[in-house]
Amino acid sequence: MELQQSLSLYWSKLYPEMDQTKLSTFIQEIEDLKKTINFTPHIREWYKDAIIYSLYVDLFNENFLGLVNKLDYLQDLGVNCLWLLPILDSPMKDAGFDIRNYDQIRLDLLGLPESSTIEERKKLFRDFLHQAHQRGIKVIFDIAINHTSDEHPWFVEAKKSEDNPYRDYYIWSKDKNLYKDARIIFEGLCESNWEKEGDWFYFHRFFEFQPDLNFRNPDVLIDMTRNFLFWLSQGVDGFRADAIPYLWKEDGTTCENHPMLHNVVKFFRAVIDYVRPNTLLLAEACQKPQEVVKYFGEGDECNAGYHFPLMPQIFKSLASGSGQPIENILSPAVTPQIPDAAQWFTFMRCHDELSLELVYVSEEDRKYIHDNYCLKPEWNFRLGQGVSARLAELLQRSPEKIGLAYSIMLSLPGTPIVYYGDEFGKLNDQAYYREMIKLSGKDDTRFLVRGKINWDQLEKDLEDENSFSSMVYKETKILLNVRKDHPCFGRGTIKWIKVFDENDKELNTVLTYVREYRNDKVLVIQNLSDNEFWIKSTILTGFGFNDLLGKNLIQGNEAGYLLLKPFHYHWIKI
């Protein structure tokens, strides 16, 4: 479907009472921009072979110049795509998710003086992109499309008067009973979805300083699409669409996953794909898989989406010593089939808490995971709805358990994300937590899982092969680089394998599966327990062993037997 036809269809569904003159003008603008962009189309489905590294530029290494200095480190680690957590201009009340200007990067991240020109700022960012691309590293970043900062020029104008042209960019009411079925997302941090401004209230799903945009206004749709186009013209490879389930509000609904919002997403995707085909649009939808798959559409919405429920189930499997929670969550009954070109993105940890929202975990699972992992009172997030702790803290600073966790995530279907610092076992940052409470005025325990990397100390730790950081880093690096060389992990099928003990009893403590794509076939065996024992399976007979991770394989005197040590794992080439 050509651009004019597809955009016209989505427009007519979103704004049936409005003619398409404004749309036609915008389409001509898109055509003109496309002529100025010299980037070649991306390789189709490149994101299926990606290993993502998520970072805050300033916390990782001060600014973009510092990040360029660490690109060799990241390339050596095995990373081939960077996810830059919020970099756009912001008052930084919500770690940059409160955007003040969509076409500007925060000046402190550029390392340039205030007197620098707009073109100098753009060039520095483009130079960073060039340096990353030279190393085979793609770059995506966050763009909050549901809301802005209350300091954004649109909202500053909107507050001036009821007849201001930007007033309708946001949602205003004198009746706080509107949208009463919309849950408070930041429960415990916010008391309402409405904030008073003069004689009116404005609607917000997140913090009160993040007013929600009104996509019922076509000008909002066009201007937000322009924001995507601007960064496409700079050379960015993809976007993480933050808070995508909340875009369309309708009274009498939960204001989540509304069918109408999919026309907004289709509009974005059609424009982005037209200007530079195969640019990544990633859905951040904290929902159950059967809801997230709707954001893939029929291959005409987002290219990828996070598999949020998988993460807590991995933690449940690690705590219970059973692979069943993982098998259950990935079963077709829970995780539906997705379009061929679509992809799940997976993670063990991220910039937020270990989330236990009831939207994708049961009350029973929430209690079990919280009881097993909230090891300190200050790790509690939103009244038991999550745990604010780094991977190393959650797994009690055990290199073996951290390695096992990464083995599971990296070998399951999907594209994996490594959260900065976790590759060497970075711990909770108490100093940063206290500092950010003072700056933000919010006791947000997610600050614990952020914080700066001390590169001088890290380099010393990595030189000591017996240090905790060195042991975690060495194993993570091996896993990442092996994963990158085997397309079966990002593209292949998964077949669950049963293994048995010496008495022919099936072992749920051993998570075993085969990943296969074309001629690439790998058997993954993972001991979730702290016991050492022999396992047997027919799949362990009839082929030569080659552990891709370089681990020692101890076979039995009889064919089909293998010794598993506590928390050990093997990736065996078949």
Residue 528 Cα to chain centre, angstroms: 25
Quote the Cα angle for 460-466-471, to 5°: 90
Task: Report whether 52 contacts 112 (CB < 8 A).
Answer: no
Residue 338 Cα to chain centre, angstroms: 18
Tokens of 213: 């945009």
Quick check: helix, strand or coil at residue 110? helix
Sign of CA dihedral 326, 358, 142, 251: positive
Distance, CA of 95 to CA of 87 (rounded, Å): 9
- Spatial neighbors of 246 by CB under 8 A, at least 6 apart, are 146, 205, 212, 255, 256
Tokens of 436: 């950010």
Sheet containing 194-197: order of strands: 172-173, 200-203, 194-197
Quote the Cα angle for 546-408-58, to 5°: 115
- Spatial neighbors of 356 by CB under 8 A, at least 6 apart, are 312, 365, 366, 369, 370, 384, 385, 386, 387
Q: What is the DSSP letter of 426?
A: P
Which residues, listed in sequence order, are joined to residue 168 by a DSSP beta bridge? none
Distance, CA of 128 to CA of 82 (rounded, Å): 12
Q: What is the DSSP letter of 211?
A: P
Distance, CA of 165 to CA of 568 (rounded, Å): 62
Side-chain-facing half-sphere of 525: CA atoms under 13 Å: 28
Tell me how crowded residue 333 is: count the other CB atoms within 10 A of its CB: 9
- Spatial neighbors of 466 by CB under 8 A, at least 6 apart, are none
Quick check: helix, strand or coil at residue 428? coil
Tokens of 66: 């510092």
Q: In 202-303, which ranges are continuous DSSP H helix?
A: 218-234, 261-275, 289-292
Tokens of 326: 């993982």
Q: Measured between alpha carbons, how far is residue 169 from residues 172, 183, 206, 218 in Å?
A: 10, 22, 17, 9
Distance, CA of 272 to CA of 175 (rounded, Å): 38
Positions of E strands within 396-517: 415-419, 493-496, 510-517
Q: What is the DSSP letter of 427?
A: P
Tokens 């100390």, residue located: 457
Question: What is the rounded end-to-end Cα distance, in angstroms, of the chain?
Answer: 43
Annotated catalytic sites, by residue?
242, 284
Secondary structure of 183-206 as H, E, C letters: CCCCECCECCCEEEECCEEEECCC
